[in-house]
Structure 1
Amino acid sequence: MTESSGSSDLWNLTLQHSPIGMALVAPDGRLLMANPALAGMLGYDVDELTSRGFQEITHPEDLAADLGLVARTLEGEIDSFRLRKRYLHAQGQVIWGDLSAALVRSRDGTPLHFISQILDVTDQHQQEERLRRANADLERERQALEAIFETVGVGLLLIGPDGRYERMNRRHEETMRLPFPDGHDGHAGQLGHVYGLDGTTPLTKEEMPSQRAAMGEEFDDYAYWAGEDPLTRTAFSTSARQLRSASGQRLGAALAYQDITDLMRAIQVKDQFVASVSHELRTPLTSVLGYLEILGSRNDLPAQVVRQLRVVQRNALRLEALVTDLLHVGQADEGSLPLRRGPADLASLTRHAVEAVAAVAEEAGVSLEVDVPDRLDTVVDEQRMRQVVDNLLSNAVKYTLRDGSVTVALSEDDGTVRLTVSDTGIGIARDEVDQVFDRFFRGHEARDRHIPGTGLGLDIVSSIVAAHDGEVTLESRLGTGSTFRVSLPLTKG
């Protein structure tokens, strides 16, 4: 065997057993030789494949680029080329191949054939195409979020896990000068001209919304005032959400700041008006009630006049109760709700409240069930706590239909006093439960049934309980009933 024939045999073995598609291609495009790997990749047998030219198995849209490189190689501009192109499979589908081709010439430079190597990259190309589309979608999403981030009418702030400010939109950047006229160091918790809802008490570092968010809190509608000048201060409502990775790792927090100055000013004007009117009404009402009491004590009045005076007195007392409620609301807003704490027996107080509402409950066809200990001593404002029990009981009876029931329970557990008032009444819709302690709020069921009320009772209950460092909660289901729970710290005096 000559050295030349040995090289030829070696080449044939390499060609036949290579896992990569290989072929010898004539300058005119005819396939002189193809290995099984290439034939299998394109769905032909070897003989059938070598009866074709590469032009026949190349996708029409890629043929011009392939022919151009072949021409440049034959002209001697380049010795080899590489091209990713599409091939046509025998079954009609498209195969993506990575083609590497080198031209072999004779000693005198005459082109003999191309040695071509084709790697099937269909899966890789499809992956790349999916990645490209995903990147395009992400870019569109990024641009949309960027547009929203910069055009929304609220200030937006992103805080990193270390509390550093990572990004804010123009809206927030503009408002930063209000609380921080001398500049900001870009870290959560920096103190500035930021005040509580009273407009005078500066927020501590722990109360700053950025610090709360940096410490992992999530909250909604956290309101405060910002600005050095009390006359030009701006009120903001801030909400915060934590940012986490898919694995749950904390990445930081996002905060949204909304200007609510107009709303807060309007509320202040309304509350001042209500307080002013309430004060103005109390003096003449006191006089009216006093004279009604004097008239009621006379024995020389006709029975019809006495009945009429009782109607007037009943309605005057109702008006006085409303004025008292409005004054109470004004005191709570000013942060000056007066408490006269002293020793009190809550068990006796609760029983008396039940006795007071018993006649109304009997007339409405509502039964009262009482589970109260013989005695439960603590230190509270007895008159204010009577307001709490009275309001909860009157509400329960008012919103319970005939043949329903109201249950009152009082107990002490591990240093905590617990008062529970449950009813089998009309209940409260799920989307309204969080609003029942809001001032002037009345549920749609109460409005639809024309049940009288001002929407102040539960607001008063909430403020009195809060002033005693307690908590009031509600569980309710529409059409089933409601349960109010009051928890107070037990104080021995």
Structure 2
Amino acid sequence: MQQWALLGANAVVTTAYLAIAVAILRPLVASGQLRTNPLGLATGTIFLSCAVGHGLHALHAVHAAAGHPTAPGWPMAVWDALTACVALFYLSLRRSYAELMRGAQLFADLEEERVRALAEQQRAADREYRAVFDHAPNGTLLVGTDGRVLRANRAAHDLLGVVDGGLVGTRPAERGASLEPGHREQRWRRADGSEVPVHVSTSLVRGDGPAGDHLVCHVVDLTEQAAARAAVDASEAKFRSVFESSQLGMVISSPEGRLREANAAARRLLALDEGPDPEHWSQVTHPDDVARTSAAIEAVLRGERDGYDLEKRFLRPDGQVVHVSQSTVLVRDPSGAPLHFVTQLLDITARARADAALEDGARRLRAANDELREADQLSRDLVAMLSHDLGQPLSALRGYLELLEDDGDAMPEQLRTAMLARTRLAADRVRELVDEVLAMARAGALTADVEPVRAAAALERAAAGAVGVRVEVLPGAEAAGTLLADPSQLQQVLGNLVANAAKHGGGPVELGARAVPGGVELRVRDHGPGVPAAFVPHLFERGSRAPGTAAEGTGLGLHIVRRLVAAAGGEVRYEDAAPGARFVVRLPAAGADGPAEPAAPALRASA
């Protein structure tokens, strides 16, 4: 009986352990967590081993109840070994599981701490967002999909003149707002009925929070900008009014010189409507004024000055020249970069013409003054010429008359005839000088009535008229041919040179002539000390006299020679004869011998 009771108890326990093992292992197998849940696997295995062990005990009891006392003992040994293995596995697994649980608990603690930190950060961000939202300088509204305000900051309430919280639940559309996503400028009505210009930026925010989908509206007050814009528009309108109605021509051009705009006065002044609009200022500027205008523009662009003023000329399409007074300034942006030039043009054509007329009158006045000075100088020269050149023939005339008066009766007939001939020559010379002076006075300047003159005859006549000095005509004068000169003036030239040689030179005076290419040279030489080298450049100047000279004179003789020779188209020069001085008169050649002049009497003047 005892054996059967033990059998029944083991069967019940085995069934219970088996049911528990199946209840633990079946969900693990069904969910595929048999390998990932070692603790469940170990627990199910322990209950299963217990069920097996009690089953073996039940089997042993059956053998004993059946009268088999010698039933094998290996089932119990197997059960004991299996139970010991399962227990050892469970103990090791429990330690691992405990460590795993401690790690899991630590991880859970860290995760909880992270969640708390994130929550705190979220709360701080919410507080910061609320602070930024509430204290933002521009109005901000959160509007629900039904068009009602969910939340509004203080700036939005102040902007619309509503007490704090008064905008919540209201519809911005009732204030004239359009809340379509995007950016636009609008006018919203305030609580007092006035309107305020605003710039609205609206965006749609999709969210899972209490607000759900909603609109975020940022509203910027444009009152100051609108006032500034109105001021700019008013200034622009004022400038436009001044620009268009100004009587001065006004032009706006780019820093590169391209014409952008011209007012009506400028278009009339430059006749821009009579042809295609010029692209560059240089196309309407007088060519002679382009360079200095460009230089002024470059100086302004380099920052050396703010603008420039100048008087210049423009060319109209028909070629007419317009004189203007131009004033130009350069407008720069806040960074200093050039924007455009603004130019004012004042028509000064009438003034320029008046100035030109005044200048022409002044020029004529200067010319008249020059003529007066020349006339005055001419009169002085005439007086000097009379006093200088009349002295020589008058002295000769007086000397010959005195000789004839004293010794005329005792003179041989031939000598008396020669004396009378020389007296007539001297008288003729005086008459010629008087006629020349009168002609010069009437003409107002020294002129020459040139005609062919034989060089040799001119020299012979000059030698015959000399008084107080021995004059010789060198051989070869006939070969010099004929020259072009005023006969009377030529005798005056030669007489002055001979008189100058007698006064300042020494020894006999030699007269010679030679032909040169294109002309004839007449030479007058003395044998005196010559002219100091330092004084040579001043020989032919009016009133010049060599320093240290003992001879008397006015210093006009050689000056008159130069003027008379120049009037005939010739030139006179000085040469150092070593010893003595040589004056060379070069006159144009006549090209053919002229009519022969009567030679003077062969008598030579002697000291």
Q: TM-score, normalised by structure 1?
A: 0.35
Q: Which has the higher helix share?
A: 2
Q: Which has the larger radius of gyration?
A: 2
Q: Which has the higher strand share?
A: 1
Q: TM-score, normalised by structure 2?
A: 0.29
